[in-house]
Amino acid sequence: MDKHRFMKAVLPYLLVFPAMFGIAVFVIYPVLYLGYLSFYKYNLMNPAKSKFVGLENYAAIFARDDFYKSLFNTAVYTFGTVVLTLAISLAIAVWLKRSTKLNAFVQAGIFTPHIVSIVSISLVWLWMMEPNLGFLNFALKSLGLPTSQWLQSSDTALLSVIIVSVWQGIGYYVLIIVAALQGISPSIYEAASLDNASNWKVFYKITLPMISPQLFFILIIMTIGSFKVFDTVRMMTNGGPNNATNTIVYYIYQNRTTNIGYASATGMVLMAIIGILTFVYFRMLAKKVHYQ
Amino acid sequence: MASIQLKQITKTFDKHDVIKDLNLDIEDGKFTVLVGPSGCGKTTLLRMIAGLEVQTSGQIYVGGKDVSKVAPGQRGIAMVFQNYAIYPTMSVRENIEFGLKNNKVPKAERTELVEGIAETVGLSDYLDRKPSTLSGGQRQRVALARAMVKKPAVFLMDEPLSNLDAKLRVQMRIELIELHKKLGTTFVYVTHDQVEAMSMADKIVLMNKGEIQQEAPPEVMYHTPSNAFTAQFIGVPPMNISAMSDGFSFGFRPESASLSKEKLLGAFAAHGRIVTREMLGSETIYQLKTEHGSFMIKSIDDSFRVDDEVHIAVKQDKLHFFDARQKRIAPSEPAYEQSLDLLRGRRYG
């Protein structure tokens, strides 16, 4: 009887243990260790010589211009990527809403970049954006349009990286939005047409609110993802020219060998920024999102 | 208020004619019910009147005006959908006033209209609620209010009661009849349920396979069905129909037969054994196996039991005869006497 009661009390913990163990080892421990490192002047050659410096690393971050530069770049990149991806995905999804054979083909085509490694994509775009021999300038020239320096100029480099990210990402988001659009009951649109609603009104008052949960999800996921952008920057620009495309994660990466404590502190700051941003989103938008 | 005329309407889906050369006049201010088995084209017909479906050929007139190419929102009609099609993201108030807003009705007038209608259908306390917090019956009322508030010339309803439970359905049926009386507007109501059709309609339009079988008031359709299909579609249980020679057949309603343990006399008489018995309260339905086939008999006498040997008889004026093309033979037609002879010959032969 006692044994039975013991089992009843212990069994739930036993069952959640494997998952909890994984989270503890792979999520909680690394985050805590990152926080721990951020308080040290860490010596990679001889960890024993590491020195506790308190909030010194954090003070250093907020005193340095290159941090603000990369934070600004990241913000611009995030804003550009999120807005462009959402707008273009939504437009394409509305266009591809009706399930015909042609639409399925186009959708598969748009989705393809998503299954290709971002490294390969970055390399291909790197060549296409080459100012003298690249395809993009060749195409612009043959159309009689002005060419661009793309990644080679600090004016256009960040935009070029944004274009590649958007191009790679839209297929996936189109897929999500198309699924959401197809989930809307056609009779609601019929009711709206009997209510004499214009196309714009139907889109604004019915379609958008109906897919708001998916749009909100995309907004959050993309903001977090964009704030952590690294691979395109690493492959295409290495943060250049003149730090024009240096983003926070790449900034952390640059400090990985020279100053582990400083890099860790930057990581903690990044985590806090993303956390605050997500919180603000929920505060501002959650009421506007319609859940069925 | 408006009448509706359908002229030579044909609707083709994937090269298959769902409706062919259909003509129908729906009278102004009447409660017309389109009824028929599923797939008979009744919903397609309703959707064509609404403009949600475009006819392959033919014209539709609402209030004498050709609306064949007019957008749904400008035909002066309102529709209640089977699944209500309420806008889930809008409050009850927004749902009801959406059509008014689109038609640029001024705000003060809009508020007055919405609140008046909400009062009528009993939704006043729910105006600021979201549809997801309402019960099935309340959603039904939102759908009705949304249709009513536009003061349409024609009300279209596509099986509006099929998602309600049995009790609420009966209650809403009465409310709809009252609503029709109060508004005096043309109602076109689609259902597959002949009980709904019988109880609500001023006129029933019975369809099968895209063709109109009969247009008549409920009692006319019940007592003088124009063919065997109508006779068997209307009424529960359906009319008993049994074949005679030359493709002719005869039939009678389950309640038209008298039932007894003694031998009975009538234009048609038979004896058989009770196979099933359904006691429904005020009446009992027996299934009888006889030498002429099996018949359903409705009786107020519940004293018979399964396996009892019984006699039935039907008077001549309660008998119906159908010719080889399934059409009903009226007593005035010469073929009627011939049918009676066939029945007698069979009885004595």
Domain assignments of chain A as residue spans, ordered by start: 57-288
Q: Indicate whether B180 and B306 sit together in one domain.
A: no
CB B175 within 8 A of CB B190: no
Q: How far apart are CA A42 and CA A35, in angstroms?
A: 13
Task: For residue A85, give the nearest of A229, A186, A253, A194 by alpha carbon.
Answer: A229
Where do the DSSP E strands lie in B87-160? 154-158
Say if A292 is an interface residue toward chain B (CB within 8 Å): yes
Q: Indicate whether B218 and B343 sit together in one domain.
A: no
pLDDT digits (tens, 9 = 90+) for A86-144: 999 999 999 888 878 888 898 888 898 888 888 898 899 988 988 888 888 888 888 98
Give chain B's domain count: 2
Are the beta carbons of B52 and A210 separated by less than 8 Å?
no
pLDDT digits (tens, 9 = 90+) for B54-70: 999 999 999 889 999 89
Q: Indicate whether B196 and B266 sit together in one domain.
A: no
- Which residues is B57 bridged to in the sheet? B10
Q: Which amino acid is at B151?
A: K
Does B231 fall in a domain? no
Task: For residue B43, give the nearest of B142, B156, B139, B147 by alpha carbon.
Answer: B156
What's residue A144's pLDDT?
85
B131 contacts on A by Cβ (under 8 Å) = none
Output the six-digit token pair for B117: 């209608």
Q: How far apart are CA A187 and CA B192, in angstroms?
A: 20
Q: How far apart are CA A160 and CA A73, in angstroms?
A: 13
Residue in A187, A201, A209 closest to B102 by CB? A201
DSSP character at residue B202: S
B74 contacts on A by Cβ (under 8 Å) = 196
Are the beta carbons of B72 and A209 separated by less than 8 Å?
no
- Which residues is B276 bridged to in the sheet? B287
**Span A234-262, average pLDDT:** 86
pLDDT digits (tens, 9 = 90+) for B258-272: 999 999 888 899 999
Task: For residue A161, give the nearest of A129, A117, A136 by alpha carbon.
Answer: A129
Side by side, the strands of the sheet bearing B186-191 are B77-80, B154-158, B186-191, B31-35, B203-208, B211-216
pLDDT for residue A63 is more than 50: yes
Q: Indicate whether B13 and B141 sit together in one domain.
A: yes
Percent over 90 (pLDDT), chain B = 64
Torsion, CA B56, CA B59, CA B62, CA B65, rounded to 10: 130
Does B184 fall in a domain? yes
Each as own residue / partner, the long-range contacts of residues A281-284 (CB below 8 Å, 24 or more positions apart, any chain) are A281/A216, A281/A219, A281/A220, A281/A223
Q: What CATH number does the domain containing B81 carry?
A: 3.40.50.300
Expressed as residue numbers, the domain containing B329 is 238-348
CB B241 within 8 A of CB B232: yes
A198 contacts on B by Cβ (under 8 Å) = 102
Q: What CATH number does the domain containing B304 carry?
A: 2.40.50.140
Side by side, the strands of the sheet bearing B65-66 are B16-26, B4-13, B57-62, B65-66
Q: Indicate whether B247 and B215 sit together in one domain.
A: no
**Span B232-249, average pLDDT:** 90
Does B260 fall in a domain? yes
Are the beta carbons of B98 and A188 separated by less than 8 Å?
no
- Which residues is B78 bridged to in the sheet? B155
pLDDT for residue B347 is more than 60: no
Are the beta carbons of A194 and B52 separated by less than 8 Å?
yes
Q: Indicate whether B189 and B272 sit together in one domain.
A: no
Give me the half-sphere count of Cα atoms (radius 13 Å) on the Cβ side of residue B176. 33
Q: Indicate whether B271 and B172 sit together in one domain.
A: no
- The CATH class that applies to domain A57-288 reads mainly alpha
The ipTM assigned to this model is 0.84
Distances (CA, A) of A107 to A111, A171, A214: 6, 7, 18
Q: Which of A123-127, A185-189, A284-288, B159-163 has the lowest mean pLDDT?
A: A284-288
Q: Which of A44-53, B128-137, B177-186, B204-213 has the lowest mean pLDDT?
A: A44-53
Residue in B52, B99, B132 closest to A190 by CB? B52
Does B232 fall in a domain? no
What's residue B86's pLDDT?
92
Q: Indicate whether B219 and B250 sit together in one domain.
A: no
- Those residues whose C-beta lies under 8 Å from the C-beta of residue B40, and which sit 6 or more positions away, are B207, B208, B209, B210
- Chain B nearest-CA distance from A232, in A, is 39
Q: Indicate whether B181 and B112 sit together in one domain.
A: yes
Are the beta carbons of A195 and B81 separated by less than 8 Å?
no
